[in-house]
Amino acid sequence: MIKKILLGLLLLVVCLVAVLLWNTIQMKPKEISVEPVEIPETDEAAIERFAAAIRIPTVSHESEADFDSIPFLDFAKFLAQTYPYTDSVLEKRVVNKYSLLYKWEGKNPDLKPVVFMGHMDVVPVAAPQSSLKTEKAPGELKANINSIWDVAPFGGEIKDGFIWGRGAVDDKISVIGNMEAAEKLLREGYKPERTIYFAFGHDEELGGEEGAKIIVDLLKSEKVYPEFVMDEGGIITTNKIPNVTAPVALVGIAEKGFISATLSVDLPGGHSSMPGDDLAIEVLSNAIVKLRQHQPESRLTPPAKEFLLNIGPLMPFAERIVFANLWLFEGLMVKIYEGSSVGNATVRTTTAPTIFNSGYKDNVLPTKAKATVNFRILPGETTDDVVSHIKEVVADDRIVVEKGNFLSEPSPVSPTSNGGFKLIEKSILQIFPEVNVAPYLVVGGTDSRYYNEICENIYRFTPITDPIGFHDINERLSIEDYKKSIVFYYQIIKNAGNLN
């Protein structure tokens, strides 16, 4: 009897191994053949034009009082003067004083238009937290602060094969790349079949409520429902996916939602020589600790699964067994992802305490304490779910939970089977034949969130490889990347303009 059971078990194991191996062998990279295209030469003067765009400090400051309109007006003037064909042939509208919407009328009014997005604003250059490492010795820290940028952040310097400055990778490359490509196509006499829009917001770094949102309101009022929209988001990477050495172009098909919740307590204070039991700081700290210890559950969302299925074939054989058999290894995969902060952000609604305020004197027990916790929400959950989660976990009536002013629900997931995605994929492969294209979930937020109202096919991709200095010091883009970007936009505008 025991022998029979053992034999049965052995047979099961053999079958299981056979299934695992079979699935692994069957997992092969997609083979997509695209018509080759001739890659046009990029005009060397374009490099200086990009540097000039970086020299205009279109900074989005956290505080409205710091807003300086002059650079934004200068930037619009710069675009008009530098790209005269685009400025005169396309219909240009200035939206809400600083954002720009260009319309390139297609020959065939029956075709739905396409929108290429970008944002003109940049984050400030003040020392980011990451460059002020407190574990360093005091002398080192000082040296570190002094050497924050190797160049003037708005100097637009061209050196060592790079174009340096704030905005080089986020996101003036999208704006200038599209403008360079449009100008070149116009000079060549190109006329699209399909209408093309270029939509450049001026406050993406503040959430886009004054820029992209108003542009979408305008498009909606004109009943413009795009075929697809392309915004920043994904990039090409050669080193960010563990165990994959082949370059991968990440195209965002969804993005996470955003909510900052404030938690506050108001309790009796007193003298610090006789502390009681209910101390505001202690009560609130406990709540934060609970939130960190009981985070929303991790899981694989549809865009994360699509990503895994696309990068699986690029893995070494042993790893590929896991990717090819998610039906069995999904739990293991989630555990692996939880192990790194980037991975964790892909499989979970994240919990990040970002502000904590309380107290004003060393011998007074404060009556009030207030904290902000930022959550980035997985597709399929909502900002309301987050608030319910906080109340349930904290379970303390003394704590008042409120939603912050800026909220964004997670985006719907855009399909990978339709014309828009296929067109982006084809354009990528035409210009970067060596890369593999993989859809993925964007863990940050982009201006494209507003387009959900008018379009189901929203993709997030910028044609640059492993950018340096994103929201950080020494932001720069290689000249090679810049030139390739212009060619990519040139090609995708042509492909989109002809798509029918």
CB of 211 to Zn ion, least distance (A): 12
Q: Which is nearer to Zn ion, 232 or 475 (CB)?
A: 232
**Of the ranges 163-171, 247-255, 432-440, 464-472, which one interacts with Zn ion (CB under 5 A)?**
163-171
| DSSP codes joined into one string, 388-437 | HHHHHHH--TT-EEEEEEEEEPPPPPPPSSSHHHHHHHHHHHHH-TT-EE
Which phi and psi angles does 196 have, rounded to 5°?
A: -120, 135
Cis peptide before 171 (omega within 30 of 0): yes
Residue found under tokens 């002059």: 70
- β-pair partners for 437: 249
CB of 462 to Zn ion, least distance (A): 9
Q: Which is nearer to Zn ion, 233 or 313 (CB)?
A: 233
**3-class secondary-structure state, position 345:** helix
Quick check: is 434 catalytic? no
Question: CA-CA-CA-CA torsion for 241, 243, 244, 245, nearest 10 degrees?
Answer: 110
CB of 74 to Zn ion, least distance (A): 20
Question: What is the spatial distance between Cα 219 and Cα 114, in angstroms, rounded to a whole number?
Answer: 12
For CA atoms 328, 334, 337, 338, give the dihedral sign.
negative
CB of 315 to Zn ion, least distance (A): 30
Interaction of residue 171 with Zn ion, rule CB under 5 A: yes
Half-sphere exposure of 262 (CA within 13 A, CB side): 12
Which of 170, 171, 204, 231 is labelled catalytic? 204
Interaction of residue 170 with Zn ion, rule CB under 5 A: yes
CB of 253 to Zn ion, least distance (A): 18
Quick check: is 392 catalytic? no
**Of the ranges 162-170, 237-245, 247-255, 324-332, which one interacts with Zn ion (CB under 5 A)?**
162-170
How many angstroms separate the Cα of 279 from the Cα of each of 272, 276, 397?
Answer: 10, 7, 14
Q: According to CB under 5 A, which residues from 355 to 384 bind Zn ion?
A: none
Q: According to CB under 5 A, which residues from 180 to 239 bind Zn ion?
A: 232
Q: Which is nearer to Zn ion, 212 or 248 (CB)?
A: 212
Q: Which is nearer to Zn ion, 192 or 445 (CB)?
A: 445
Binding string, residues 296-335; x marks residues near Zn ion by CB under 5 A = ----------------------------------------
CB of 107 to Zn ion, least distance (A): 33
Question: Which pairs from 66-70 meet CB under 8 Å and 24+ separation?
Answer: 69/97, 69/98
Q: Which is nearer to Zn ion, 207 or 226 (CB)?
A: 207
Interaction of residue 472 with Zn ion, rule CB under 5 A: no
- Which residue, judged by CB position, is nearest to Zn ion in the bound state? 171
Question: Where on the chain is the footprint of Zn ion (CB under 5 A)?
Answer: 170-171, 232
| Residues annotated as part of the active site | 121, 204
